[in-house]
Amino acid sequence: MTTTTTSVAARSDQRARFHDVRAFTERLAQPLSAEDQTVQTMPDVSPTKWHRAHTTWFFETFVLSPHAEGYEVVDPAYGYLFNSYYEGVGPRHARPRRGHLTRPGVAEIAAYRRAVDEAMDAFMDGDVARDVAALVELGLNHEQQHQELLLMDIKHVLATNPLRPAYAPDDQATPRPAAPDDDWIGHPGGVVRTGHGGDAFHYDNEGPRHDELLAPFALRSTLVTAGDWLEFIEDGGYRQPALWMSDGWAAVQADEWEAPGYWTLGSDGWSIHTLCGPRAVDPAEPVVHASWYEADAFARWAGCRLPTEAEWEAVATSRGDDALGVDSWALHPRAGGEQWCGEVWQWTASAYTPYPGFQPAAGAVGEYNGKFMVNQQVLRGGACVTPSGHTRPTYRNFFYPASRWAFSGLRLAVDA
């Protein structure tokens, strides 16, 4: 461990950010009852109270226990209950059974969060080595990722309820701006630099910075809309096996897909369940909750394709973030609005694999990204539930190709 410590000003800034991030998680959980916070409606969904506990366990396990002199864990059993996938730390409760845990309850988890917050507050008040401060920053970004997951997961929980309850009332949603003009953004191709190359925080999977060779191409300037998708449905897109990858067509048949996730066909047409409850599908808004299989089939139906992540990043970098809708339209409640349906993560044609020269970090935190680099597809951009700062052009989100509960959509690409 380096003996170089952070400055008083840097410690103060990180301490304030710590309290801000931790408080925002509690704000997101505040509308939910104890029952809401305990339910797990599918293996990919985690209960809200588990998110609150796991993000706390992260600070306790990777910061306080090894670096705060004399620290004693709040409850030794929590290490088993709230470890997610860190094999190097020890055994853990199986992910599909997180919803089986009625105890500890939300009150005990709130007390756990307070205890760890108080210990972290005291710890950050003293000298903090730079490498430990980097762990704290990783923990804060990790918690922000779980803030997004919390909203994704509770949307699935509430949509599964026949009463179709809302997470937030409609009056908390910000008005949608006028739709941008639909156009194509051309790129000449050639050798482009890809990946994060700065000193600002970024995840290990965003680097190393490297060269990619691109052929000339163009990206659609706007996202595929729900109106576009209605045309796909009406043209029998879900009934044409030639449009689909083999595994995708198997998913269509097995799960009886007829539309994106959370869409329901009624006597008045298609509706969608949102975090504000059910409402009619708006043809002008970006389509959301489409799997990679669906995105790929739609692109083929449209006579286009999905962009690679290098193509997407090249345009986002050369044209500026707003060219691809990154960090815009009040993406997160912290940014001043609560628009629960809007911009979406964008599927790419790229498999989630390591960049040339990638090396995971040493120790258990090295399990954060590297071991998931197989059988998943990359998404770029950001969504209406994505925390501010996580929508940078180099950010690599990733999900399995059949996943639909994420806020995922697409834009189209063509060869020039």
Q: Per-residue b/e over 78-112, b at no fewer than 16 CB within 10 Å?
A: bbebbbbebeebeebbeeeebbebeebebeebbeb
> What pLDDT sits at residue 186?
95
In a domain, 1, yes or no: no
Q: Do 275 and 152 belong together in one domain?
A: no
CA angle 54, 57, 63 (to 5 degrees): 140
DSSP classification of residue 34:
T
Instruction: Tell me the CATH number at 323.
Output: 3.90.1580.10
Q: Do 132 and 200 belong together in one domain?
A: no
Alpha helices in 176-256 (DSSP H): 226-234, 246-255
Indicate if the pLDDT at residue 334 is higher than 60: no
- Choice among 173-182, 352-361, 381-390 with the minimum mean pLDDT: 173-182
CA 137/CA 130 separation, integer angstroms: 10
Q: Do 329 and 180 belong together in one domain?
A: yes
Q: Do 150 and 180 belong together in one domain?
A: no
pLDDT by residue (tens digit) across 206-216?
A: 999 999 999 99
**What total number of domains does the chain contain?**
2
Indicate if the pLDDT at residue 283 is higher than 70: yes
CA 367/CA 377 separation, integer angstroms: 18
Contact 47, 98 (CB under 8 A): yes
Nearest to 325 by CA among 220, 228, 205, 189: 220
- The C-alpha R_g of the chain, in whole angstroms, comes to 22
In a domain, 319, yes or no: yes
Of 165, 195, 214, the last residue of a domain is 165
> What pLDDT sits at residue 337?
31
In a domain, 46, yes or no: yes
Tokens of 239: 């009934």
CA 287/CA 274 separation, integer angstroms: 12
Region 340-369 average pLDDT: 83
The range of the structural domain enclosing residue 102 comes to 8-165
Q: Do 152 and 182 belong together in one domain?
A: no
390 or 321, higher pLDDT: 390
Q: CB neighbours of 134 closer than 8 A, spacing ≥ 6?
A: none
Region 244-258 average pLDDT: 98
CB atoms within 10 A of CB 277: 18
> What pLDDT sits at residue 178?
57
Q: Do 221 and 296 belong together in one domain?
A: yes
> What pLDDT sits at residue 3?
52
Instruction: Tell me the CATH number at 74.
Output: 1.20.120
Q: Do 68 and 196 belong together in one domain?
A: no
User: Sorting pLDDT into bands at 50, 70 and 90, what band is 224?
Assistant: very high
Indicate if the pLDDT at residue 341 is higher than 70: no
Q: Do 148 and 270 belong together in one domain?
A: no
> What pLDDT sits at residue 331?
32
> What pLDDT sits at residue 307?
98
> What pLDDT sits at residue 175?
52
The percent of residues in the chain predicted with pLDDT above 70, rounded, is: 91
The DSSP bridge partners found for residue 190 are 214
Of 114, 133, 165, the last residue of a domain is 165
Q: Do 93 and 120 belong together in one domain?
A: yes
Of 138, 165, 192, the last residue of a domain is 165
Region 89-105 average pLDDT: 95
CA 356/CA 353 separation, integer angstroms: 9
In a domain, 196, yes or no: yes
The reported pTM is 0.92
Region 178-198 average pLDDT: 87
> What pLDDT sits at residue 182?
79
In a domain, 184, yes or no: yes
Write phi, then psi, for 213 (nearest 5 degrees): -100, 120
Indicate if the pLDDT at residue 147 is higher than 60: yes
Write the Ramachandran bin of 323: left for phi over 0, alpha for psi from -120 to 50, otherwise beta: alpha
Contact 409, 222 (CB under 8 A): no
> What pLDDT sits at residue 6?
85
Contact 131, 28 (CB under 8 A): no
Tokens of 415: 């060869």
Q: Do 16 and 124 belong together in one domain?
A: yes
User: Sorting pLDDT into bands at 50, 70 and 90, what band is 340?
Assistant: very low
In a domain, 3, yes or no: no
Q: Do 233 and 176 belong together in one domain?
A: yes
Q: Do 182 and 303 belong together in one domain?
A: yes
Q: What is the mean pLDDT of the chain?
A: 90
Alpha helices in 179-337 (DSSP H): 226-234, 246-255, 292-301, 309-319
In a domain, 202, yes or no: yes
Indicate if the pLDDT at residue 138 is higher than 80: yes
Indicate if the pLDDT at residue 403 is higher than 50: yes
In a domain, 2, yes or no: no
